[in-house]
Structure 1
Amino acid sequence: MRHLQNLILNTDSYKASHWLQYPPGTDRTFFYVESRGGVYDRTVFFGLQAILKAWLSRPVTHADVDEARDVFAVHGEPFNEEGWRRIVDVHGGHLPMRIRAVPEGTVVPTHQALMTIESTDPQAFWLPSYLETLLLRLWYPVTVATLSWHVKRTVREFLERTSDDVDGQLPFKLHDFGARGVSSAESAALGGMAHLVNFRGTDTVQGVLAAREFYGEAMAGYSIPAAEHSTITSWGRDREVDAYRNMLRHFARPGSLVAVVSDSYDIFHAIREHWGRTLRDQVIASGGTLVVRPDSGDPVEVVHRCLTLLDDAFGATLNGKGYRVLNHVRVIQGDGVNPDSIRAILERITGAGYAADNIAFGMGGALLQKVDRDTQKFALKCSAARIDGQWVDVFKAPVTDAGKFSQRGRLTLIRHRDYGTWRTVPIPHDIETADAMPLEPGWDHAMETVWENGVLRRDASFASVRERSEAS
């Protein structure tokens, strides 16, 4: 597995030949990242710091260069051994480039530059392109954070309409069930952490650990004791009620929550007979809150029916907005959950007079795995190169797909402080860096230098990321 940690080999094969393909006289290049549209009209920028700390904080060594040289020699690609040796000898293995980006947690409309990458050593002009494969994987945490953020907006909408306690409940309304459904532990870490930008509930331990490792957050998410089918069905159908009683005995305490999957056989019978009659007094006496989990059937129909049956058994209280809030019990729906079904469920139950307080959601594959780079049409493109001392615009404009037109010039992102308008604008050729670029009155720079020549210039806390996301 040591080979998988070599930064030089964390690239696409054809990248190894690209240093030979630029025009003679090229000594600098400039790239940018954007979402070219997609499912959502804005994205939550997140995850760059994790990638930088995980991959760029360790200097490249001559041993890394040796290994890469040998791999590419057999693999069939040329290799820029001299260029990489120079990075080790001249720069101590640190990569000579500058990365500017919007602060993490910022919500930005699509079709705007989110990050720029530029070379800083004339003899390493090829480096930003070489790192495209690694850096563009930023699409994944950004897309998960974006999906989660938009679900949060949906849930907030229904809480504000039907609940007396919006802020207290909202952080725990979408629970991450996705760890087992992702392709790797790294995906669980990055995706699970991205979800935690917006919510506090998770069963993805890797996400909690990643937030600690890369953003210094001691504990980013929380969970509760919960049953799975094996811990219920191992008791047998005839002893189903004993399985439930055992859950209450171990975990139901004043102020606590305990989640019990209840559809192993017949969830409606389980609610009517086991929870609603046999165990009703024990649930109430425990002082805790029982969270019943359906896990099959049509989510909209099943959730509504479960709430009705639990209302019959435990009763409900009308809140200040005239909606029913169940006594002692709640429901969590974790099967068939996606942004569309969440809205459909909330429409159904609030239309029936039940507050959004009564339901929480668990999302697994639809949260962490059912996304790809095209969900938000992410791209990393070259937009400028300095050739023979002159900056030239670099762009693509395929006649077969206007959606793939790329932006041109050295770019930066600005925002109007009064109107909230965003603009991606070119940096004049006579200005060395975007930070030195003067702006018209009312406009502010929306990007900052986060990485420069091997040094992390901005070390964002997880709390600051959450604050920006919430403020948007």
Structure 2
Amino acid sequence: MAGFPAGGTDNILLVTDSYKVTHHMQYPPNTTTVYSYFESRGGKFPNTVFFGLQYILKRWLTGQVITLAKIEEAKELYTRHFGKDLFNEEGWKYILEHHNGYLPLRIKAVPEGSVIPYKNVLMTVENTDPKCFWLTNYFETLLVQVWYPMTVATNSRYQKEIIASYLDETADNLAGLPFKLHDFGFRGSTSVESAGIGGMSHLVNFMGTDTIASITTARTYYGCPMAGFSIPAAEHSTITTWGKDDEVAAFRNMLERFPDGLMACVSDSYDIWNACENVWGKELKELVIARGKHNGTLVVRPDSGDPPEVVIKVLNIFGAIFGTSENSKGYKMLPPYLRVIQGDGISYETLESILSRMKENKWSAENLAFGSGGALLQRLNRDTQKCAFKCSFAVVDGKQVNVFKDPITDHGKKSKKGRLTLEKTKDGYATMEEGHGDPKKDLLVTVFENGKLLKDYSFDEVRQNAELDLVKQRKSSQ
């Protein structure tokens, strides 16, 4: 149909749930303020990394986002959608005429990258024009989508905690930590946009990625010139096109085409044990060693089988052939020109089993890196951290109303009351309800007001806010 782009639109009036279009008619008469908040009500991880709101604000809400053409497009679409005219044309034209198309909203949020225990307020939203009380919750649909970058960043950070703890126990230092979990998730994402958002969220914690969309998204929305890095690497097609009998030639080509630096080669196309023991370990052994003289490191990638078993067997084969050294913690290290990356079956749930098996066998975690795809960017949803957006305060007929819900069938969905602040306490964090907090102690920052972005976080700021306490402690002790 002419006038309606396939697959999406930049018309902010259309980026909501259908029923929101009718809500301007449902509030009590003489409502002038609607105030809502966003939180993680619980979920898989006890803390959440708040991240991604700035992307939403810059992408959708900042500037003159309401025009007459957008209002007319929305009216036509919604009239057809509902079969009658329920669209708030008057309200949107008011915003266009009195606010020049800028949204009269105020959004406060914790600093991006903040690590906050669940059941705490993370963001509040309210209208700044009493005639636009209906606007606050119109954008719930869009704003709640911060659940995705937030949850990816949280999932990634918890994996970083596991890796960091094993490095701390079995490696000389944590220097290699930023590159220990590599993003392989582009092809498994639901869209290029979701790959960019999710991949960028992983880069809050790490610096390794093969998801190009993640680095372009971080560049555009967080001003980061280069958020992630990668290395030359083989896939099965570039190895198997040489044929099974010529696998050695395929491997040799990798060593010769990339004579220095890090290079990864998938090695399980046929027989991972033969590849490690006879191809890398005999026929190409001298080339692998010689490449090390040019600061070259071969990273061998098994890509099938039971990860803990495969990793240990590969390390043992290489250790027997290339030799090992012992680090300051008493754990074995392969020569610096040889490492392993496990990129199959990696998730928060599987990391521990691999790293604990390595530790049991006296292998340092420094020998291994991980790659993760679907489990990193896709195996999660809004309920992973039970994200919710609820109204907690309103002004009706000039009276302040503390708004809440408390379903008798599920008290876990009980919502907070009144105006909220987030404050630091001796035990961590606390959300103060019903306006009882101290505004001077409030950690929520006004990031958006009346169509303007008031706080523009750099990616470095986000990373610093999200950094592990263990890493901060090690840096401070150096």
TM-score tier, shorter chain, comes to over 0.9
Secondary structure at 1:49 match in 2 = helix
Aligned to 2:442: 445
Q: Quick one: distance in 1 between partners of 2:383 and 2:250? A: 45
Partners of 2:89 and 2:371 in 1: CA distance:
49
Aligned to 1:197: 204
Q: Is the contact between residue 67 and residue 101 of structure 2 (CA under 8 Å) also seen in structure 1?
A: yes
Identical counterparts, % of pairs: 53
Identify the residue that residue 73 of structure 1 maps to in structure 2. Answer: 79
Name the SS of the counterpart of 2:389 in structure 1.
Answer: strand
Does the alignment pair 1:285 with 2:272?
Answer: no
Shift of 1:58: 4.0
Contact 1:151–1:339 (CA under 8 A) maintained in structure 2:
yes
| Rounded Cα–Cα distance in structure 2 between residues aligned with 1:127 and 1:445 | 24
1:471 shift after superposition: 5.4
Are residues 1:319 and 2:327 paired? yes
For 2:67 and 2:439, locate their aligned partners in 1 and report how far apart those are by CA, in whole Å: 39
Q: Of the candidates 40, 43, 66, which is equivalent to residue 38 of structure 1?
A: 43
Equivalent position SS for 2:102:
coil
Q: 1:106 to 1:438 in 2, by over 3 A?
A: closer
Q: Report SS of the residue matched to 2:112.
A: coil
Given that residues 49 and 151 in structure 2 are in contact (C-alpha distance below 8 angstroms), is that contact kept between their aligned partners in structure 1?
A: yes
Cα drift, residue 234 of structure 1: 0.3
2:178 corresponds to: 171
Counterpart of 2:237 in structure 1 is 230
From the superposition, tell whether residues 299 and 447 of structure 1 become closer, same or farther in structure 2 (CA, over 3 Å).
same
Q: Is the 8 A contact 2:416 2:433 kept in 1?
A: no
Relative to structure 2, which stretch is displaced further, 73-82 or 273-282? 73-82
SS at match of 2:187: helix
Q: Secondary structure at the match of 2:467?
A: helix
* Equivalent of 1:355 in 364, 386, 399: 364
In structure 2, which of residues 49, 59, 64 is the aligned counterpart of residue 54 of structure 1?
59
Which structure 1 segments of 5+ residues have no match? none
Is 1:412–1:427's contact at 8 Å kept on the other side of the alignment?
Answer: no
What amino acid is aligned across from residue 71 of structure 1 in structure 2?
A: L
Whole-angstrom CA distance in 1 between matches of 2:354 and 2:53: 34
Kindly indicate whether the alpha-carbon contact (under 8 Å) linking 2:110 and 2:123 is maintained by their aligned counterparts in 1.
yes
The one-letter code of the counterpart of 2:179 is F
How many residues in Structure 1 have an aligned counterpart in Structure 2? 457
Shift of 1:69: 0.3
Show the counterpart of 2:474. none
What is residue 273 of structure 1 aligned with on the other side?
278
CA contact (8 A) 1:35 1:378 kept: yes
> Is residue 184 from structure 1 mapped to residue 191 from structure 2 by the alignment?
yes
The list of structure 1 runs, each at least 4 consecutive aligned residues, that deviate by more than 6 angstroms after superposition, is none
Correspondences of 1:136-155 after superposition (within 5 Å): 136-155=144-163
Q: Indicate the residue corresponding to 1:219 in structure 2.
A: 226
Q: Is the 8 A contact 2:35 2:392 kept in 1?
A: yes
Give the C-alpha shift of residue 421 in structure 1: 2.1
Which residue in 1 is equivalent to 2:473?
Answer: none
Which residue number corresponds to residue 394 of structure 1? 403
Distance between the aligned counterparts of 1:222 and 1:332, measured in 2? 16
1:64 to 60, 64, 70: 70
> Is this contact kept in 2: 1:31–1:116, CA < 8 A?
yes
1:22 aligned counterpart, secondary structure: coil
Distance across 2 between alignment mates of 1:252 and 1:310: 20
One-letter amino acid of the counterpart of residue 154, structure 2: T
For residues 253 and 435 of structure 2, what CA distance do their matches in structure 1 show? Answer: 70
Q: Distance in 1 between matches of 2:393 and 2:329?
A: 57
Change (3 A) 1:19 1:321: same
The answer as to whether partners of 1:112 and 1:413 remain within 8 angstroms in 2 is yes
Q: Is the 8 A contact 2:161 2:468 kept in 1?
A: no
Q: Does the 8 Å CA contact 1:46/1:141 hold for their aligned counterparts?
A: yes
Other structure's SS at 2:198 match: helix
TM-score by length of 1: 0.95
Q: Which amino acid aligns with 1:70?
A: E
- For 1:364 and 1:176, the matched residues in 2 are separated by 6
In the other structure, the counterpart of 1:89 is 97
The verdict on how the C-alpha distance between 1:468 and 1:420 changes in structure 2, with shifts beyond 3 A counting, is farther
In the TM superposition, residue 340 of structure 1 has moved relative to its aligned partner by: 1.5
Amino acid paired to 1:222: F
Q: TM-score, normalised by structure 2?
A: 0.94
Contact 2:417–2:434 (8 Å) recurs in 1: no
Secondary structure of the residue that 2:142 maps to in structure 1?
helix
User: Cα deviation per residue 1:127-157 (whole Å; 9 max; x = unaligned)?
Assistant: 1110000000000000000001111110000
Q: CA RMSD in A?
A: 1.2
**Which residue of 158, 162, 170 corresponds with 2:170?**
162
> How has the CA–CA distance of structure 1 residues 239 and 471 changed in structure 2, closer, same or farther, with 3 Å as cutoff?
closer
Give 1:243's aligned residue.
250
CA contact (8 A) 2:21 2:88 kept: yes
1:422 correspondence with 2:443: no
- AA at the equivalent of 1:375: T
Asked whether the 8 Å contact 2:68–2:96 carries over to 1, the reply is yes
Q: Distance in 2 between matches of 1:191 and 1:310?
A: 35
| Superposition map of 1:20-31 within 5 A | 20-31=25-36
Letter aligned with residue 457 of structure 2: A
